[in-house]
Structure 1
Amino acid sequence: MSLKLKCFLAALSANIIWGFVAVPIRFVQHYEAEQILFCRIIISLIICCVFIAGFQRKQLLDDIQILASSSKSERKTLLILLLTSGVLITFNWYAFIYVINHVSLNSAAFAYMICPLITALSGFIILKEDINRQKIVGIMIALVSVLILATGSLHEVLWSIVTASFYAFYLIIQRVSKVFNKVNMLGLQLMIAFIVILPLYLNLGLSLPVDLNFWFDITIIAVLFTLIPLFLSLFALEGLPSSTVGIIIYINPVIAFAVAFLYFNEGINFIQAFAYLLLVFAVIIFNWKIISGTIRKLVVREVTDFE
């Protein structure tokens, strides 16, 4: 299996997992968004630090050596990128939790429809990533779908745009800062997230929940819906441009929308269903080169094995 295909499957898996995140978050919706986020970060940070201490010590020392041997300007740039990425992912998590529990699930799903457009266009403009005619067609189809769905309230649309922007620029930064080990970088981002959210948490005077069901649910969110998909997403950026990883995010809102409709019984109409089908079509077109290449390899392998 080629690196590009592994990265594609990693990005796909991450967004399939994230599509279901509303389920465990809704189970703790009677808690404040700040409580949910703070505890999610604590559990994620503890698990990540234990893993690094147990299995990543050599890679951690290598990363420290890379930082120490960099020039002053390079070190400053790397530290700024790491700090910014930690702040962006923290704000994205906070906004997403708030939108799910206090705005609507459809609004949260809509945020991840806007996100790929911001990511793909930013990757083309800022990083000068290659974008051919086929990818442009995929983006345009996705844009049509977004415009169809952008007929709700201005309040919901604005929350969607803010949430999407945080994650889109987080992806762009991850594409640029590729010198560090991904697990170590994730641990540092979680540490930054903890530092960012702690003053807000203390200022609100919130206490740590004592309900064991809450902590069980938060642990599931931390492991299954935070650490695993974030690591898969970071791995995907090793072999795919941020525009491709960004466009695969469309799988996330399609699943999230299905969860909202089938599990939480939020409303749906024909126009919304049609727009979501357009999104799936846009993902296939944007990634057709990878998909068709994989199909050809599988066919060739089957023919060779048969002969």
Structure 2
Amino acid sequence: MPSRSETATGLLVTMQAFLIWGLSPIYWNHISHVPAFETLMHRVVWSLAFLLPILIFQKKMGPFFKALTNLRTMAVLTLTTCLVGGNWFLFIWSINHGHVMQTSLGYYINPLVTVFLGMIFLKEKLTARQKVAVLLAGLGVAWLTIDYGTLPWVSLALPFSFAFYGLIRKVVDVGPLVGLTVETLLMAIPATIYLGYLGATGEGAFLHSGRATDLLLIGTALMTALPLLLFNLGAKALSLSTIGFIQYLAPTCTFLLAVFYFKEPLDPSLVRTFVLIWSALALVTWDSIATYRAKDTAVPAA
């Protein structure tokens, strides 16, 4: 059982992780002049350079090499690499093309998509509150689709790709840091070739667009790995219900950025959709707290 000081520290670092994720659109917007795919390639290469020393420091090279030599593990991680790489690319592309509000909506929907996939693929039974929450989320997306005349695909692709990523990662026995490093390594091989080609032809942004751009591209490693490490550090001292509350900090920050920093229009259709999604999240959070308290107060059988 974590002590009060450990819980307070865990709360602080976990909030820092979600604040970094929520405010990250400002960072990505500052390198919007670099094509999204090229930015992704830099994110991958510099993240690997950042993660490998941490892996060595934490003495996890053994599990890392074990994962690399296990065919089943590598097959699963190759699939998750495609999912997380696609998620990263879509997020950067969305920020660069003025879809910050849709990214916020997508990450609000994410917990609901996770619940939905658990029901479909893991045969998990939903409580009455969870069923209503999923229904409200579906109604919100349908309403927005009808009003806009087009499916809000960014808001759906982001949570579904990440939820499937989490779902598939469950079937392979590797830790978060080791798994992320393997996934980053798999992406880094073609990324290095691509960036080398851009450098050789003089078409790349790195070393050709000013020192500020170079530093920002290198800094994508911190934007990728730092919040993940903070989250893993803090989550050990917190209950799932507490983490459930804190996770909404990220899309809330992104939502506020979309309105007040990026000046994206907040029309009535979006307002109605967000109200429905927020209502659904309130139900899911209520259900999680009720479940956690029920388990916490249950008296073990003698």
Aligned to 1:222: 221
Residue 212 of structure 2 is aligned to residue 213 of structure 1: yes
Question: 1:217 Cα shift?
Answer: 2.7
- Normalized against structure 2, the TM-score is what? 0.75
Q: Does structure 2 conserve the Cα–Cα contact (< 8 Å) formed by 1:12 and 1:248?
A: yes
Instruction: Give me the whole-angstrom Cα distance separating, in 1, the residues matched to 2:152 and 2:287.
Output: 32
Instruction: Give me the whole-angstrom Cα distance separating, in 2, the residues matched to 1:44 and 1:66.
Output: 19
Aligned to 1:80: 75
Instruction: Give me the whole-angstrom Cα distance separating, in 2, the residues matched to 1:140 and 1:231.
Output: 34
The count of corresponding residues between Structure 1 and Structure 2 is 281
Instruction: Give me the whole-angstrom Cα distance separating, in 2, the residues matched to 1:275 and 1:252.
Output: 18
Q: Does structure 2 conserve the Cα–Cα contact (< 8 Å) formed by 1:117 and 1:143?
A: no
Question: 1:76 Cα shift?
Answer: 3.1
Aligned to 2:300: none
Q: Does structure 2 conserve the Cα–Cα contact (< 8 Å) formed by 1:248 and 1:283?
A: no
* 2:148 counterpart SS class: coil
Identity among equivalent positions (%) equals: 24
Residue 53 of structure 2 is aligned to residue 50 of structure 1: yes
Q: Does structure 2 conserve the Cα–Cα contact (< 8 Å) formed by 1:116 and 1:250?
A: no
Instruction: Give me the whole-angstrom Cα distance separating, in 1, the residues matched to 2:109 and 2:294.
Output: 32
The 1:138/1:17 distance shift into structure 2, 3 A limit, reads: farther
Instruction: Give me the whole-angstrom Cα distance separating, in 2, the residues matched to 1:278 and 1:98.
Output: 26
- Name the aligned partner's letter for residue 175 of structure 2: N
- Normalized against structure 1, the TM-score is what? 0.74
- Name the aligned partner's letter for residue 105 of structure 1: V
The 1:107/1:171 distance shift into structure 2, 3 A limit, reads: same
Aligned to 1:300: none
* CA-to-aligned-CA distance 1:65-106 (integer Å, 9 cap, x gap): 5776xxxxxx43322111111121111111221122125222
Question: 1:274 Cα shift?
Answer: 4.2
Aligned to 1:40: 43
Matches within 5 A, 1:165-180: 165-177=160-172, 179-180=173-174
Q: Does structure 2 conserve the Cα–Cα contact (< 8 Å) formed by 1:148 and 1:272?
A: no
Q: What is the root-mean-square deviation of aligned Cα atoms in Å?
A: 3.9
Q: Does structure 2 conserve the Cα–Cα contact (< 8 Å) formed by 1:261 and 1:268?
A: yes
Instruction: Give me the whole-angstrom Cα distance separating, in 1, the residues matched to 2:32 and 2:249.
Output: 24
Question: 1:164 Cα shift?
Answer: 3.6
Aligned to 1:28: 31
Q: Does structure 1 conserve the Cα–Cα contact (< 8 Å) formed by 2:86 and 2:161?
A: yes
Question: 1:240 Cα shift?
Answer: 9.2
**For structure 1, which segment, 204-213 or 261-270, has the greater mean C-alpha deviation from structure 2 after superposition?**
204-213
Aligned to 2:258: 260
- Name the aligned partner's letter for residue 99 of structure 2: S
Give the one of 174, 182, 185 matched to 1:188: 182
Q: Does structure 2 conserve the Cα–Cα contact (< 8 Å) formed by 1:250 and 1:283?
A: no
Unaligned stretches of 5+ in structure 2? 296-302
